[in-house]
Amino acid sequence: MPILIRRLEQNDGLKTFDCGDHRLNDYLKRHAWANQQQNLVGVTYVAADQSHPKLVIGYYTLATSSIPRHALPGELTKDLPRYQNLPVALLARLAVDLRFQGSGLGKELLRHALENVLSLSKQIGCRYLIVDAYPTAVKWYEKYGFMPIGETSPGGTQPMFLDVRTLELALQ
Ligand SMILES: CC(C)(COP(=O)(O)OP(=O)(O)OC[C@H]1O[C@@H](n2cnc3c(N)ncnc32)[C@H](O)[C@@H]1OP(=O)(O)O)[C@@H](O)C(=O)NCCC(=O)NCCS
C-alpha cells in the first residue's frame, strides 16, 4: 500500500480514526488542527493511503521543549555546555489506526518524524528527541534506539530519549 505522509489539513477525514486509545483519538479529532494553526504548539503529520489521500490512518505531532540536564545520564551530557536545560524536540503524539497496526506504518511515521527532527536540528538547537511512551509502546521505541529516562511518570508513561547526533547514522 503506497503511503503518503504530510502535514494535517483542515478538511482531512478524521472521523473514523481509531487507534484504540481515546486520548490519542480525541487529540487528533478535536485539538490537532487548532494547536497547529492557531496556537502554534504542535504540528501534526498524517499518513494516508495514496488512493484515499484525505482519509487519515496514522499521525504524529511534533513540538519543541526542553529537558533538565540532570534528568539525563551524566556521561552523556558531560561534554555539553553547563546549561541547566537542554533543547529537545518532543514527539508529543504518535498513533496508527487499529486496522493498520503491525503493518509497518508506525515505523514509517517514526522515520518521517526523525527526518523532520534531524532537519530541524540544523536550523534550531535541538540535541535530543524525547517521548512520553505508553508502557505498551516502550519496547517498540527501544527497537529504534530510544532509551528510558528515570522513573515512570504519575500518568503511567515512561519518558524516553534519543540523541539527535545518532540520527544521521540511524537514518542511513
Ligand atoms: C505503537 C504504534 C504507534 C506502533 O505502530 P505500528 O504500525 O503498529 O507498528 P509497526 O508495524 O510499524 O511496528 C514495527 C515493528 O515493531 C513491532 N511492534 C509493533 N508493536 C509493538 C509493541 N507494542 N512492542 C514491541 N514491538 C512492536 C512490529 O512487530 C514490527 O516488528 P518488525 O519490524 O520486526 O516486523 C501503534 O501500535 C499504536 O498506534 N498503538 C496505540 C497508540 C500508542 O500506543 N501510541 C504510542 C504512544 S507513546
Q: What does the pLDDT average to over 65-80?
A: 94
Residues shown for the chain: 172
Q: ∠ CA 23-27-28 to the nearest 5 degrees? A: 125
Structural domains in the chain, CATH included, are: 3-170 (3.40.630.30)
Q: Is the pLDDT of residue 138 over 90?
A: yes
Chain centroid, CA 16 distance in Å: 22
Query: What residue ranges line ligand 1, CB within 6 angstroms?
Result: 19-21, 24, 94-96, 101-107, 131, 133-134, 136-137, 139-140, 143
Grid coordinates representing 124 are: 534550531
Residues 37 and 15: their CA atoms lie apart, in Å, by 19
Q: What does the pLDDT average to over 82-98?
A: 97
Pocket test for ligand 1, best of 96, 98, 114, 142 (most atoms within 8 A of CB): 96
Q: Is the pLDDT of residue 74 over 90?
A: yes
Q: How far does residue 85's CA lie from ligand 1's centre (Å)?
A: 31
Instruction: Identify the band that residue 170 occupies on the pLDDT scale cut at 50, 70 and 90.
Output: confident
Residues 111 and 44: their CA atoms lie apart, in Å, by 14
Question: What does the pLDDT read at residue 169?
Answer: 79
Contact between residue 86 and residue 69 where contact means Cβ atoms under 8 Å apart: yes
Q: Is the pLDDT of residue 116 over 90?
A: yes
Which residue do the cell numbers 540536564 mark? Answer: 69
Contact between residue 92 and residue 65 where contact means Cβ atoms under 8 Å apart: no
Closest CA to 32 of 66, 64, 63, 67: 63
Question: What does the pLDDT read at residue 66?
Answer: 97
Contact between residue 110 and residue 145 where contact means Cβ atoms under 8 Å apart: no
Q: Is the pLDDT of residue 148 over 90?
A: yes
Mean pLDDT (the chain) is 96
- The H or E element that residue 93 is part of is strand 85-96
Q: Helix, strand, or coil here: 26?
A: helix
Closest CA to 140 of 97, 89, 95: 95
